[in-house]
Amino acid sequence: MAYISTPTRLQRSIGALLGVHAGDSLGSTLEFKSHANIKESHPTGLRDIVGGGAFQRPAGAATDDTDMTRGVLLAYFDHQQLLDNGQTNNAEGHDVAKLAAQYFLAWLSGDWPGRQKGRRPVDIGGATLRGLEMFKRTQDPERAGAGIGQAGNGSLMRCIPTGIFQTCRREMTQQSMRISAITHDDARCTISCAAYNTVVYALLKEKSPREAVDEALLVAKSLEENCNQDTGCAVEKAIRLGTTLSVADMAENGPESFVGKAKGYVLESLSIAVAALMDIRPLEDVLVDVVRIGGDTDTNAAIAGGLLGARDGVDAIPPQWREKLQFREEFERITKLLVESIERNDHCKQDSYSVV
pLDDT at 353: 44
CA atoms lying within 13 Å on the CB side of residue 154: 23
Instruction: Mark the binding-site residues for Mg(2+), compressed into ranges.
Output: 63-65, 296, 298-299
From the annotation, which residues make up the binding site? 63-65, 296, 298-299
- CB atoms inside a 10 Å sphere around CB 351: 16
pTM: predicted TM-score of the whole model, two decimal places: 0.94
- What pLDDT score does 18 carry? 98
What pLDDT score does 344 carry? 84
Taking Cα atoms as reference points, which of 301, 198, 192 lies closest to residue 241? Answer: 192
Residues in CB range of 87: below 8 A, 6 or more apart: 93
Domains located in the chain, CATH noted:
9-344 (1.10.4080.10)
Model pLDDT, residue 348? 74
Distance CA 299, CA 65 (A): 6
- Under a CB-based contact definition with an 8 Å cutoff, are residues 179 and 329 in contact? no
DSSP state of 264: S
Between CA 287 and CA 197 the distance in angstroms is 19
Strand, helix or coil for residue 324? coil
Q: Chain-centre distance of CA 162, in angstroms?
A: 10
Give the bridge partners for 57, in sequence order. 52
- Return contacts of 46-53, CB within 8 angstroms, 24+ apart: 46/288, 46/291, 46/292, 47/284, 47/288, 48/320, 48/321, 49/22, 49/25, 49/320, 49/321, 49/324, 49/325, 51/25, 53/28, 53/29
Q: What is the pLDDT along the chain (356 residues), one digit of tens a residue?
A: 444 458 999 999 999 999 999 999 999 999 999 999 999 999 999 999 999 999 999 999 999 999 999 999 999 999 999 888 877 666 555 799 999 999 999 999 999 998 888 889 998 999 999 999 999 999 999 889 878 889 999 999 999 999 999 999 999 999 999 999 999 999 999 999 999 999 999 999 999 999 999 999 999 999 997 766 544 599 999 999 999 999 999 999 999 989 999 999 999 999 999 999 999 999 999 999 999 999 999 999 999 999 999 999 999 999 999 999 999 999 999 999 999 998 887 667 555 444 44
| Gap between the Cα atoms of 96 and 243, Å rounded | 32
pLDDT of residue 343: 85
